């Protein structure tokens, strides 16, 4: 039986990527020509095998042609985009790809589509399919409302990335200004990094783990001496120069207007919520049924688990009500003077139980990771600095409102996943291509 979330997701209208829609259009012809399912009353094995080989050839040919057009597009866009300079786009001379897909953006790396298709076809038998089912989700590291627990299969894969001197940044919308709350969410990973011996992870590799919170407001680096195993990083270290130029008056105006709009939404929709204002964010959170939640530690030892000491039950708000708030506040800010000026980026998003408006967005969060990791983890040389072409952002598929992971494509190569199982499969394939052995078996989600 399908989940409630998938039913709700299927009924919504979502932002569509024109490049992906164009590629899907190119693939329609071979798919339709061979789409009739094999009959159950005749021997069609030989015909089916021949058809599959022909479909594979046609798919690969289409992917190769797109790959060639992407290469031409990258030549015309120049090298400025490697440093994520937003003022150099679009290029003065459009490419063939840009003429066909006017909304296409920059590509930070080559796109070996033919090789990628052949690799995935061996695992998922794409060319052997005659009917197709796809789905999207909104989860990446852990299930909705859960934490990254010590038994998560993602932890050994993330440790392997660190072991290979690949730095790991976790960009989250959770806007906590202290490390304790992030430890609560990520304690399984943090404790695993702490407990890894010197023969497994060096100190420099351990310090290659960074957490960016509030989209782009707080940065915490791994610290074995901190009780929460994370220490706040001063903004002077991680803040890019472009962020330092954001006018404080515009920031205040956006947050003030967002707060006023949120209060009006709570009143108009009669939501069981209260408005919460932070330094660089404002949102609505569900009312606590009886008293406030109090958080404590299970012991005084460093890295000891943070557990709810007296967490009171909270009321729930409907998804429809939350998205109504998101759309209302987003549009109100977009038409405001500060919003039209475009000097300060912002985003409104539905967190499932709450709604928040943050200064900045996922694209800035990724850029902060790239900037901060130049100075953390014992690596300060220019050739190892993280850039869009050397960064992979893994995120959930975007909702109709918010679309933060969609924005992350401005700052990095991106991979969209539906759930933590798909994240595991993606990391297995990444490690395989980095020389870590064969990827894991195909999951049920892969088969779909």
- The residue-averaged pLDDT of 95-113 equals 90
**Burial (0-12, 13-18, 19+ Cβ within 10 Å), 435:** exposed
- The residue ranking higher by pLDDT, 302 or 194, is 194
Task: Of 213, 135, 119, 158, give the one whose Cα is nearest residue 423.
Answer: 158
pLDDT digits (tens, 9 = 90+) for 388-406: 888 888 887 555 455 566 7
Residue 279, phi then psi, degrees to nearest 5: -65, -40
Q: Which residues pair with 346 in a beta bridge?
A: 359
Domain coordinates in residue numbering, the chain: 4-127
- Return mean pLDDT, the chain: 77
DSSP assignment string, 139-165: -SSS-TT----TT-THHHHHHHHHHTT
Which one of 138, 354, 396, 405 is the catalytic residue?
138
User: In the chain, what is the greatest distance between 2 CA atoms, to the nearest angstrom?
Assistant: 74
- The residue-averaged pLDDT of 66-92 equals 74
Task: Of 286, 291, 264, give the one whose Cα is nearest residue 350.
Answer: 286
43 catalytic per annotation: no
pLDDT at residue 296 is higher than 70: no
- The residue-averaged pLDDT of 173-198 equals 91
Contacts of 222 (CB under 8 A, 6+ apart): 190, 193, 206, 207, 208, 209, 210, 229, 230, 231
Q: How far apart are the first and last CA of the chain?
A: 15
C-alpha to C-alpha distance for 393 and 102, rounded to whole angstroms: 24
Pairing mode, if any, of strands 413-417 and 392-396? parallel
Res 29: pLDDT:
79
C-alpha to C-alpha distance for 39 and 43, rounded to whole angstroms: 8
- The confidence band for 140, taking pLDDT boundaries of 50, 70 and 90, is low
pLDDT at residue 134 is higher than 60: no
What are the CA-CA distances from residue 122 to residues 57, 154, 233, 439 (Å)? 13, 24, 45, 12
Contact 196, 222 (CB under 8 A): no
Q: Which of 38-47, 299-308, 331-340 ranks highest by mean pLDDT?
A: 331-340
For 348, which DSSP code? E
Which one of 80, 136, 180, 446 is the catalytic residue?
136
Contact 183, 149 (CB under 8 A): no
Task: Of 160, 139, 175, 162, give the one whose Cα is nearest residue 396.
Answer: 139
- The confidence band for 88, taking pLDDT boundaries of 50, 70 and 90, is low
For 397, which DSSP code? P
Kindly tell me the sign of the dihedral angle through the C-alpha atoms of 72, 73, 78, 84: negative
- The residue-averaged pLDDT of 74-91 equals 65
Res 55: pLDDT:
83
DSSP assignment string, 216-263: TTEEEEE-TTSTTSEEE--HHHH--HHHHTS-HHHHHHHHHHHHHHHH
Question: Which H or E run contains 56?
Answer: helix 45-77
The proportion of the chain whose per-residue pLDDT surpasses 70, expressed as a percent, equals 72
C-alpha to C-alpha distance for 235 and 55, rounded to whole angstroms: 53
C-alpha to C-alpha distance for 245 and 370, rounded to whole angstroms: 18
138 catalytic per annotation: yes
Res 34: pLDDT:
66
Three-state SS for 15?
coil
Task: Name the packing angle between helices 154-163 and 179-195 (round to 10°).
Answer: 70
Task: Of 252, 274, 238, give the one whose Cα is nearest residue 338.
Answer: 252
pTM for this entry:
0.71
């Amino acid at each position: 039986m399908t989940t409630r979330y998938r039913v709700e997701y299927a009924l919504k209208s979502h932002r569509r990527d024109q490049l992906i829609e164009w590629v899907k259009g190119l693939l329609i012809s071979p798919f339709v020509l061979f789409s009739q399912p094999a009959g159950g009353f005749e021997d069609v094995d030989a015909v089916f095998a021949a058809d599959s080989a022909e479909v594979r050839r046609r798919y690969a040919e289409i992917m190769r042609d797109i790959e060639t057009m992407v290469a031409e597009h990258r030549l015309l866009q120049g090298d400025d985009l490697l440093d994520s300079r937003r003022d150099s786009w679009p290029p003065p001379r459009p490419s063939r790809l840009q003429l066909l897909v006017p909304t296409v953006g920059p590509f930070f790396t080559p796109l070996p589509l033919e090789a990628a298709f052949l690799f995935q076809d061996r695992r998922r038998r794409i060319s052997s399919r005659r009917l197709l089912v796809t789905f999207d989700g909104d989860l990446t590291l852990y299930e909705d409302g859960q934490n990254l627990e010590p038994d998560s299969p993602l932890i050994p894969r993330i440790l392997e990335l660190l072991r290979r001197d690949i730095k790991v940044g976790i960009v989250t919308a959770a806007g906590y200004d202290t490390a304790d709350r992030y430890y609560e969410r990520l304690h399984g990973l943090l404790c695993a990094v702490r407990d890894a011996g010197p023969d497994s992870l060096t100190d420099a590799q351990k310090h290659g783990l960074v957490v960016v919170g509030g989209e782009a407001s707080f940065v915490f680096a791994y610290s074995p001496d901190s009780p929460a195993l994370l220490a706040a990083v001063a903004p002077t270290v991680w803040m890019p120069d472009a962020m330092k130029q954001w006018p404080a008056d515009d920031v205040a105006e956006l947050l003030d207007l967002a707060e006023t709009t949120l209060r009006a939404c709570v009143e108009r929709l009669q939501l069981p919520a209260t408005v919460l204002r932070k330094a660089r964010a404002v949102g609505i959170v569900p009312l606590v049924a009886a008293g406030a939640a109090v958080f404590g530690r299970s012991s005084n030892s460093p890295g000891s688990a943070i557990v709810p000491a007296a967490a009171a039950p909270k009321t729930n708000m409907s998804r429809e009500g939350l998205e109504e708030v998101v759309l209302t506040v987003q549009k109100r800010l977009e038409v405001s003077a500060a919003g039209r000026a475009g000097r300060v980026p912002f985003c409104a998003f539905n967190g499932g139980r709450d709604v928040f408006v943050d200064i900045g967005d996922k694209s800035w969060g990724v850029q902060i990771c790239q900037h901060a990791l130049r100075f953390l983890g014992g690596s300060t040389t220019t050739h190892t600095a993280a850039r869009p072409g050397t960064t992979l952002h893994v995120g959930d598929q975007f909702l109709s409102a918010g679309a933060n992971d969609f924005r992350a494509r401005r700052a990095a190569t991106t991979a969209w996943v539906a759930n933590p199982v798909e994240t595991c499969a993606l990391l297995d394939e990444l490690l395989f291509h980095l020389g870590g052995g064969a990827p894991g078996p195909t999951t049920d989600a892969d088969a779909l």
